[in-house]
Structure 1
Amino acid sequence: MPFYRRRWDERRGDHYDDWGAAVYYFWVRGEVVEQQVEIYDAGVMLAYDRCHLEDDFGMLSQGGLDPDEWASYEIDIDTYQREVDGQPYNRRP
Structure 2
Amino acid sequence: MNYFSQFWDENRDDKYADWGTSTWFFETNDSDEVLKQITVYKNGKVTKYNAANLEDEFGSLCDGTLTIDECDGDLISKKEFYKIWEV
TM-score band, normalised by the shorter chain? Answer: 0.7 to 0.9
Q: Aligned partners of 1:58, 1:41: CA distance in 2, in Å?
A: 16
Q: Retained in 2: the 8 A contact 1:11–1:21? A: yes
Q: How does 1:34-53 map to 2 (within 5 A)?
A: 34-53=35-54
- How many residues are aligned here? 86
Who is 1:14 aligned against?
14
Who is 1:25 aligned against?
25
Who is 1:66 aligned against?
67
TM-score normalized by structure 2? 0.87
Letter in 2 for 1:77: K
Q: Retained in 2: the 8 A contact 1:6–1:24? A: yes
Who is 1:83 aligned against?
84
Percent identity, please.
31
TM superposition shift of 1:10:
1.1
Q: Retained in 1: the 8 A contact 2:7–2:73? A: no
The structure whose residues are more often helix, as a share, is 1
Q: Aligned partners of 2:24, 2:36: CA distance in 1, in Å?
A: 10
Q: Aligned partners of 1:67, 1:24: CA distance in 2, in Å?
A: 11
Structure 1 gap segments, 5+ residues each: 87-93
Q: Deviations over 1:20-46 (max 9, x none)?
A: 010000000121000000000000000
Q: Aligned partners of 1:43, 1:74: CA distance in 2, in Å?
A: 22
RMSD value, Cα? 1.8
Structure 2 gap segments, 5+ residues each: none
